[in-house]
Structure 1
Amino acid sequence: MIELKTPQEIKEMRPAGKFVGSILKDLKAMTKVGTNLLEIDEFVKQRIEARNGAESCYVDYAPDFGTGPFAHYICTSVNDAVLHGVPYDYNLKDGDLISLDLAINVDGWVGDSAISFVVGKNQDPEDLRLIKCTEDALAAGIAQAKAGNRLGDISAAIGDIARSQGYTVNLEFGGHGVGHIMHGDPHVPNDGKAHHGYKLRPGLVIAIEPWFLKTTDEIYQDPKDGWTLRSSDGSRGAHTEHTIAITDGEPIILTARD
């Protein structure tokens, strides 16, 4: 069921979004060559535990697309991993492409966001182009998130950006409704038909999350951890996400990292 939030409820969602955005901003600044993925996970754990009213959306999360409960505080997807990456004992190397996906509940409301970046000085221009494409697609999707438009307008804008830059789109995982829970209705595909689908209304809060792979749109679930989604051909992936609220005017980016 699609739920619409009141202006007061959107105001109440702001602290969760701001908290998630601030953690991701800090993580990007502190994540360097040699940083261990478990250090990143521990940093998020400590930040959550230090804040009254904050709870992880990931710990003990057990949806049907994972294998057993997720046991960590953040998703860390490196190189050919693009979604649901489980933190493990790995020190990041110069040139690694990492995606960090974080969802936290603060006082009953969820904020969900993701960033991708390359660690160190050995930055492959093709990695940077892929990351930029997800960011451009997110901006295009948000620009269509206005009352009176259709859900398909958001999806089509994302897909158009991907195709214009030579990437294909996987429709298995995409954006979603956000509120008291992390994953709710509606599903927001990363491609679709403009002027089709659910009519956007003020009060709708969704996560828009373009993710693309360099040379494929096929993924598989890593059997070692039962969660991490990797490209079928070993090519790298990138993922960018914001939680946004649709209003009578411009959309509000609740997870802004300014």
Structure 2
Amino acid sequence: MIDYKKNYEENVEKYKKMGYEVPKPDMIKTEADIEGIRRAGVINNLVLDEVAKHIHAGMSTEEINTIVHEKTLELGGIPAPLNYEGFPKSVCTSINDAVCHGIPDPTVILKEGDIINVDCTTIYEGYYADASRMFIIGEASATAKDLVKVAKESLDLAFKGIKPYSHLRDIGAIIEKYVKSHGYSVVHEIGGHGVGIDFHEDPFIYHYGKKGTGMVLFPGMVFTIEPMVNEGSRGVFIDSSNDWTIYTDDGGLSAQWEYTIVVTMDGLEILAS
């Protein structure tokens, strides 16, 4: 069994002496914690798989909420978004120019050509796993399809480009460089986060930044990477009618994919996707 806490204690002073920012001890999970998060991730993945089976033009976002809620309970989990800081539903459904935190609604009907992010977080036996996927409804525009593709590719590049003792801002440097090379922009105000024992933990994960800067990523850290990629400018605003949903300033499309990952002794592992 790998003792991530012991590894942290044995190595942290070396990085401190080098002048690097290091994680706090409580950011390092035990192997038992990671196994618990992994089990929550299995449920979370199955819930998103269930959405993928049924999502289609003509259904409401409230129907997506019902699928997520019922499947999560069926599998023994709890939908983490429900009543979290007053959020009224079990999942976030963000369509087209909605960047994130869209609230399911029986009057919001998916149309041919829409793109939608379904963001699902599951609690199982006290552990949290968080992931989101994009879905293209029917035949979308070339731009919409490309945006969804580039957002996913940026996430996968970051996952493949990070290793133990990389720097936190390396994640954002990889994502931003790739996204900008395709003519898109990365939202700065919202990022990934530590997860596992609670819904949102430290550290904040930037999706932009300078390589070689930021906190050193130690084995045992668990966090989400979830780049939000805009068709136009990176500017966003919060919908004042519900104080939750975030939209692009310019009305352009936005796409987001999210993994929960753990830094291991020799790489990274996806715990929820």
**Given that residues 43 and 75 in structure 2 are in contact (C-alpha distance below 8 angstroms), is that contact kept between their aligned partners in structure 1?**
no
Q: CA shift at 1:213, angstroms?
A: 1.2
Q: CA deviation at 1:48?
A: 2.3
Distance 2:51 2:74 in 1: 16
Q: Partner letter of residue 105 of structure 1?
A: I
Q: Which amino acid aligns with 2:238?
A: Q
Distance in 1 between residues matched to 2:67 and 2:49, nearest whole Å: 13
Unaligned 5+ runs, structure 2: 1-23
Give the residue type in structure 2 aligned to 1:192. Answer: G
Equivalent in the alignment of 1:226: 243
- If the length of structure 2 is used for normalisation, what is the TM-score? 0.88
Normalising by structure 1, report the TM-score: 0.93
Question: Following TM superposition, where does structure 1 have runs of at least 4 consecutive aligned residues deviating by more than 4 angstroms?
Answer: none
Separation in 1, partners of 2:46, 2:233: 32
Give 1:75 deviation, angstroms: 0.2
User: Displacement, 1:144?
Assistant: 2.9
What is the percent sequence identity of the aligned residues?
Answer: 31
How far apart are 1:148 and its partner, in Å?
A: 1.5
Q: How do 1:17-36 and structure 2 match up within 5 A?
A: 17-36=41-60
**What displacement does 1:73 show?**
0.3
Amino acid at match of 1:94: E
* Contact 1:244-1:251 within 8 A present in 2 as well: yes
Give the number of the structure whose alpha-carbon radius of gyration is greater: 2
| Aligned residue among 165, 186, 190 for 2:203 | 186
SS at match of 1:38: helix
Contact 1:146 1:201 in 2 (8 A): no
> Distance in 2 between the 1:138 and 1:239 partners?
9
Unaligned runs of 5+ in 1: 63-68
Q: 2:68: which partner in 1?
A: 44
Q: Distance in 2 between matches of 1:32 and 1:137?
A: 26
Residue matched to 1:80: 97
In the alignment, the residues of structure 1 paired with residue 42 and residue 74 of structure 2 have an alpha-carbon distance, to the nearest angstrom, of 15
| Equivalent position of 2:123 in the other structure | 105
1:170–1:212: 8 Å Cα contact kept in structure 2? yes
Q: Indicate the SS of the match to 1:40.
A: helix
Where 1:253 maps in the other structure, the secondary structure is: strand
Number of residue pairs the alignment of both structures matches = 248
Q: Specify the SS of the correspondent of 1:254.
A: strand
SS of the aligned residue for 2:186 comes to coil
> Of the candidates 237, 242, 250, which is equivalent to residue 259 of structure 2?
242
Q: Does 1:60 align with 2:78?
A: no
Query: AA paired with 1:221?
Result: I
Aligned-residue CA RMSD (Å): 1.2
